[in-house]
Structure formats: structure tokens, C-alpha cells
């Protein structure tokens, strides 16, 4: 079949959509902003409700995409402008430099070793430093280092060329510049995913003030065998094993306070929390786990089972009620979680080693710029708006531009990949129409 589809975002939804199209014989341009594909799922420890290792499920898809003859992966790239209409889009893509030539690089690691600049590692949610020239995780695709211009001394004007000097094969390209290319596509799929709410503004929980108050995404790195602690739940303040853990739901979600958080339910927190609680309990059977919640949302297949397993079999204590405050004992760095149990009216306090905040699912901040480039509308929160759920499902306000996964609101992995396949079919239909237009 003639024609291409442009997929924006290389997370699990974007990968699935690309594979769906490629396996239908359609050429795909996969555009990813980061130097590597994989998205948020690559950072997660396990899936729910089946408790599979996330990267073990994602990585084969990453490799298949990267090596698929029908898929062209453009990392470090962003869409800046879209002309034309369904069937005949002309897309301008800006690619930032990697500064490392992957075709020359032998992955010896000399550049990383020699690099004098360190910066907080965002893949490990800041729990570890990394170098300015780096590979975020061992299974990263494409597997070649990239240079983070924001951290690199060379680009800060220091004239450092340490990596270039040690590279035995001359793969470092400090002079490489931005590249602009024009891609043609019959249709466009938006799969930019989400970002997590920063709960600092909710002062009552002390995030960023108390070291042992962390977000659920940070928790995922702490409990991951590929994370900074090798999977031991060592709390940030002193490395002590956290055996008393409080999970707080609806942090920034279902908020009706002016200017704080978002009013909607983030849809996935109850289930990832059940999974996280089960993981801790299975790893440390003597741990004491509390989950503070408003409503337990367990609406998918086997979801309620997982909650029941956490609560009834493993003894995770679920307390209905949103904590009013978390306070820290400045000497021990232990935390006190104050709450009202709305089932009993009782006011209580739990002393814990670690508090994990299930922070809201937010649209990506870049959605605003991307929506401008695509000429489509966002909803009041900044998610991509779907025009008509029933008659043109998963289509944005511009014909031929589709959306799947968390870029139009929170949803879990299973629903995201279902939608990714759905938009793959819609996009394939557009190619057929375009071929018909031109008499093909």
C-alpha cells in the first residue's frame, strides 16, 4: 500500500499503533521527543493485575518497532507544523542532535566514563546522578549514548571535549546541529501520553519538604530490580528498609480546591496502588501497609480480585478517608499520617517509614505547543479533544488526526493498547481513501 502514517510518541500506545500499521503493510514515521523510545511504561516495575515485569513486556515491542522494515523511528524529534489535509499531510519535523553517531558507536562506554558532568537522572526519577553523555537504561532503544546539551560542559561554554577525545571510533559529533525535515503522511496519530502531577503545592503532604514522601512513579523506581536500590525498598532519607508504608490516593485528583490539582479521577491509581501494595507485601511479608482512599475503582477484568488479594489475603489495611496532613519527625524522619476514617468517624494517626502519593495523571505540558502545530483543539485540562466519540471515534478536531492512550485522558495500559490498535485501523482506512483519490 502507498502512503505513510505519522505516529507521535514512542510509548506503549505509539509503539502498538506503529506495529499495527506496519503489520498491515503500511509505512510508519514514529516521532519521539526523547532520545529513546519506551515512554513511561519503561520506568514502571510491574503491570496490573497480572504483575508482569513491565520492561520485559515492553522491550520486545521496542526492538520489533526499531527493527521493523516498515517503521522509521525519529528520536529527539518534534512536530512543529502540519500542512494539508487528511490523505495528504505535509509535516515539518525538527530533530535535535544526538551528538553521537549510532552507526559508528560500538557501545564501549568510554565516553560515559570520561564525562566530567553529572546531572540528576530523570529516568531514575532523580534518585541517582547520571552523566551528560548517557544511556538511560540497559534495554534502551536505540542503544547508543546521547549527549544532554543542558548538562554537557561543552555546550555550557566550558570547551570540554573529554568524550570526543576518548572515543576510539570517532562517533562523537559535538558540532552536529538541528535538522529539519518534511515528512508526508496520510494521517497522524497522537500518542504523547501523560505526565504525573507534582504534589509540592499540596503543602499538607510535605512532598519535596520531607524526604520520605515520594510519588508513585518514584516508588516504581525504588521497587524496580533495575532501579537505584536494586529493588530493595530503601527509603530516601537514610536508606532504611521501609516496612511501614502509607499509600495516599487522589493526590491532586478529584480535587475541588481552587487552583490545586484537577477535578477528575485519574482512573489508574487505585489499581497500581493495589499492585504496589501486593509487591511490597510479597517482598516483605512483615511489612505494614495502609491505603488511604475515597472510592476504590477496580473496574477491569480481575481488578477487584487484585484488591481483594491485597486486602483480604495479604492484610493490606484499606482506610476510607483522605489524610488531612502528613508530618515528619525531624529526628527519625519517620512520618505521621493524620486521617479521619469516614467509615467509622474515627480520627487517627499512623506512623510510617515512607508515604507514597498517588499523584494525578496530567496532560503533557507540550500538548499546547503540539496542538498548535497540528491545528487541533485541547480540552479544558490540556488533553487532546475528541470531536465525536460515536461517529468519528478517536478523531481529534482535525480530520485525519487521531488520538490514543493517555494523550486524551487517563487510561490504563490495556485500554491504551486497545485504542492504539483502533486508531491503526482508522489510519489504514485513510490511506486506502487517499489511494482512491489519486486513482491508485
Partner 1 sequence: MSGNVSSPRVGVFVCRCGKDIGGVVDVPAMVEYAKGIPGVAHAEEDAFACSTTGLERIEDAIRSNNLERVVVAACTPRTHEAVFQSALERAGLNKYLVEMANIREQCSWVHREEPGEATDKAKDLMRMAVAKARLLSPWEDPEVKQNPNVLVIGGGISGMSSSLSLADLGFHVHLVEKEAVLGGMLRSLHKLSPTMRDSSEVLEHMLMSVEDNPNIEVHRSSRVKSVTGAIGSFDVEVESEGAEKEAFNVGRVIVAIGSDILRPQGLYGYGQDERIITQLDLEGMLRKGGVRGVSTVVMIQCAGSRCEERPYCSRICCNTALKNAQILRELSPDIDVYVIYKDLQTYGIESSALELNTKRKGVKLIKYQDNKPPVVTPGEDSISVRVFSPTINEEMEFNADLVVLSTPLIPVEGAPEISEMLRLPLDDFGFFREVHQLSPLEFATEGVYVCGTARAPKDAVESISEGLGVGSKAAENRFSRRRGRGAAFAEIDEKKCSGCGICIELCPYNAIRKDELGISRADSSLCGGCGVCAASCPERAITIHHFTDDQLEAQILAAVGRRSGK
Closest separation between CB of residue 41 and partner 1, Å? 10
Cα–Cα distances (Å) from 345 to 96, 125, 316, 339, in that order, read 56, 37, 20, 10
Q: Which three cell numbers stand for residue 319?
A: 482506610
Provide the sign of the torsion angle of the four alpha carbons 161, 165, 168, 171, taken in this order. Answer: positive
CA 284/CA 94 separation, integer angstroms: 48
Contact between 42 and partner 1 (CB under 8 A)?
Answer: no
Three cell numbers at 389?
466519540
| Least Cβ distance, residue 355 to partner 1 (angstroms) | 22
Instruction: List the end-to-end C-alpha distance of the chain, in Å, as a whole number.
Output: 9
Cβ at position 35, least distance to partner 1 in Å: 14
Q: Which residue from 230, 259, 330, 439 is in contact with partner 1, where contact means CB under 8 A?
A: 230
| Strand 133-134 relative to strand 146-147, pairing | antiparallel
* Cα atoms found within 13 Å of the Cα of residue 34, Cβ hemisphere only: 19
Q: Which is nearer to partner 1, 12 or 93 (CB)?
A: 12
Residue 439 binding partner 1, by CB under 8 A: no
Only one of the segments 64-72, 88-96, 173-181, 369-377 lies at the binding site for partner 1 (rule: CB under 8 A); that segment is 64-72
Under the binding rule (CB under 8 A), the answer on residue 322 touching partner 1 is: no
Tell me how far CA of residue 41 lies from CA of 38, 52, 58, 417, in angstroms.
6, 12, 7, 12
Q: Which of residues 88-127 bind partner 1 (CB under 8 A)?
A: 107
- Considering the complex, state which of residue 248 and residue 326 has its C-beta at the smaller distance from partner 1: 248
H/E element holding 130? Answer: strand 129-131
Number of residues that bind partner 1 (CB under 8 A): 78
Look-up of cell digits 507534582: 198
Tell whether residue 384 is a contact of partner 1 (CB under 8 A).
no
Residues 323-352 touching partner 1, rule: CB under 8 A, are: 342-345
Cβ closer to partner 1: 107 or 369?
107
CB contact at 8 A, 404 and 425: no
Could you give the string, one character per residue 189-228, with x where binding to partner 1 holds by CB under 8 A and - elsewhere?
Answer: ------------------------------------xx--
> In terms of CB distance, is 154 or 311 closer to partner 1?
311
Q: Among 207-215, 235-243, 351-359, 387-395, which window interacts with partner 1 (CB under 8 A)?
A: 387-395
> Which of 34, 40, 250, 265 touches partner 1 by CB under 8 A?
265
State the minimum distance, in angstroms, from the CB of residue 172 to partner 1. 18
In sequence order, the β-bridge partners of residue 5 are 28, 187
Of 120-128, 157-165, 173-181, 415-423, which part binds partner 1 (CB under 8 A)? 415-423
CB of 363 to partner 1, least distance (A): 10
Q: What is the residue whose three cell numbers read 489535509?
A: 85
Name which position in 2, 56, 349, 368 contacts partner 1 (CB under 8 A).
56
Q: How far is the CB of 428 from partner 1 (least distance, A)?
A: 6
Count Cα neighbours of 414 within 13 Å in the Cβ-side half-sphere: 14
Q: Which residues between 274 and 313 bind partner 1 (CB under 8 A)?
A: 295-305, 308
CA of residue 401 relative to chain centroid, distance:
22
Can you tell me the distance from the alpha carbon of 151 to that of 119, in angstroms, rounded to the nearest whole number? 6
Amino acid at each position: 500500500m502507498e502512503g505513510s502514517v505519522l505516529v507521535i510518541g514512542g510509548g506503549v500506545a505509539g509503539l502498538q499503533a506503529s506495529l499495527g500499521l506496519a503489520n498491515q503493510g503500511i509505512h510508519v514515521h514514529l516521532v519521539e521527543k526523547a532520545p529513546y523510545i519506551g515512554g513511561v511504561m519503561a520506568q514502571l516495575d510491574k503491570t496490573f493485575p497480572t504483575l508482569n515485569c513491565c520492561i520485559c513486556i515492553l522491550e520486545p515491542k521496542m526492538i520489533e518497532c526499531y527493527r521493523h522494515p516498515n517503521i522509521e523511528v525519529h528520536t529527539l524529534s518534534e512536530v512543529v507544523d502540519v500542512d494539508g489535509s487528511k490523505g495528504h499531510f505535509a509535516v515539518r519535523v525538527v530533530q535535535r542532535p544526538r551528538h553521537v553517531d549510532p552507526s559508528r558507536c560500538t557501545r564501549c562506554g568510554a565516553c560515559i566514563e570520561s564525562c566530567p558532568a553529572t546531572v540528576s537522572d530523570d529516568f531514575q526519577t532523580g534518585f541517582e546522578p547520571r552523566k551528560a553523555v548517557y544511556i538511560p537504561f540497559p534495554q534502551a532503544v536505540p542503544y547508543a549514548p546521547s549527549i544532554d546539551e543542558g548538562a554537557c560542559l561543552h555546550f555550557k561554554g566550558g570547551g570540554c571535549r573529554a568524550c570526543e577525545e576518548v572515543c576510539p571510533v570517532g562517533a562523537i559529533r559535538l558540532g552536529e546541529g538541528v535538522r529539519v525535515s518534511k515528512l508526508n503522511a496520510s494521517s497522524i496519530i497522537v500518542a504523547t501520553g501523560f505526565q504525573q502531577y507534582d504534589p509540592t503545592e499540596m503543602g499538607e503532604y510535605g512532598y519535596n519538604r520531607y524526604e520520605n514522601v515520594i510519588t508513585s512513579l518514584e516508588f516504581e523506581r525504588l521497587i524496580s530490580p533495575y532501579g537505584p536500590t536494586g529493588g530493595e525498598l530503601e527509603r530516601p532519607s537514610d536508606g532504611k528498609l521501609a516496612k511501614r508504608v502509607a499509600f495516599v490516593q487522589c493526590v491532586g485528583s478529584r480535587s475541588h480546591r481552587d487552583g490545586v490539582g484537577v477535578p477528575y479521577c485519574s482512573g489508574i491509581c487505585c489499581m497500581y496502588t493495589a499492585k504496589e501494595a501486593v509487591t511490597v507485601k510479597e517482598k516483605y511479608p512483615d511489612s505494614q501497609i495502609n491505603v488511604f482512599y475515597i472510592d476504590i475503582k477496580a473496574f477491569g477484568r480481575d481488578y477487584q480480585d487484585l484488591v481483594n488479594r491485597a486486602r483480604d489475603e495479604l492484610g493490606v489495611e484499606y482506610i476510607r478517608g483522605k489524610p488531612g496532613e502528613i508530618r515528619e519527625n525531624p529526628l527519625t524522619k519517620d512520618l505521621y499520617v493524620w486521617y479521619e476514617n469516614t467509615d467509622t468517624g474515627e480520627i487517627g494517626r499512623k506512623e510510617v517509614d515512607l508515604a507514597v502519593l498517588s499523584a494525578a495523571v496530567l496532560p503533557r505540558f507540550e500538548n499546547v505547543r503540539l496542538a498548535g502545530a497540528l491545528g487541533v483543539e485541547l480540552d479544558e485540562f490540556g488533553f487532546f479533544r475528541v470531536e465525536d466519540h460515536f461517529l468519528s471515534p478517536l478523531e481529534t478536531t482535525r480530520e485525519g488526526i487521531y488520538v490514543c492512550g493517555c494523550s486524551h485522558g487517563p487510561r490504563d495500559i490495556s485500554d491504551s493498547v486497545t485504542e492504539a490498535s483502533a486508531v491503526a485501523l482508522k489510519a489504514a482506512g485513510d490511506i486506502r481513501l487517499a489511494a482512491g483519490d489519486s486513482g491508485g
